[in-house]
Amino acid sequence: MLPRETRAFLVRLTGYEIEDEELWLEAVTHGSTGNDRDYQRLEFLGDRVLGLAISEWLYERSEAAEGKLSQRLNALVSRSTCAQIARSVELGPHIRLGKQAKDDGGQDSDNILGDVMEALIGALFVELGFEAAREMVRNLWADAFAGQVGKSKHPKSALQEWAAGNRRKPPEYRLLDRSGPDHASQFTVSVSVKGVGEAEAAASSKQEAETLAAAEFLKRFT
């Protein structure tokens, strides 16, 4: 059975109600748990679905030659890009890991984050088909596709690095308010760095609000 918070996360991430809970549980389960079924088969499938979705998108939007398209495709489907997107939506806490893998920092591993991101694409493809999977890919990869891959850091990562580089304590995020029905919730979040200041932002998901708050903090204090 999917934990309630993971189910809610997946509904926000995909934009669809989750039907086959065993499928989605498999998609977020790492082999270190000892379960008979883990994310590897779905990751294999999702990798191909992601490649097709991005290839189609590039073909639609670009008149570049095959070599340039391949170069761009490789960057957009790379492990680092998949992991960056997984971090931006805060996928890590929802990955099921064995104790040792969790203690070793598996929830923030590029390999694991990237694999699970692809497994989720594979699960959506299995449950609802290519159009649904393509829609999720285009939503999640929008910034990367627009040309930001390798050019700018995610605001939360940038703030974390700024705090460390300035010998400050790590940023602290706090949920200030949640309002509205489940299908149209509004989250207000604050982020603070001790001895520097605090910034707030609101959005339709907690992770988006945190991202906006981090961006506002960077704009105001750095």
Q: Among 108, 110, 56, 119, which Cα is nearest to 78's? A: 110
SS3 content of the chain, % helix, strand, coil (to 5): 65, 10, 25
Residues 217, 222: Cα–Cα separation, whole Å: 8
For residue 199, list its beta bridge partners. Answer: 191
Q: Among 120, 91, 118, 117, which Cα is nearest to 16's? A: 120
Sign of the CA dihedral with 64 first, then 68, 74, and 75 last: negative
Hey, what amino acid is at 132? A
Kindly name the residue from 47, 90, 115, 208 that is annotated as catalytic: 47
| 36 tagged catalytic | no
Kindly name the residue from 26, 90, 118, 208 that is annotated as catalytic: 118
Sheet holding 172-179, edge to edge: 172-179, 186-193, 197-203
| 143 tagged catalytic | no
Hey, what amino acid is at 57? W
Q: What is the set of active-site residues?
A: 47, 118
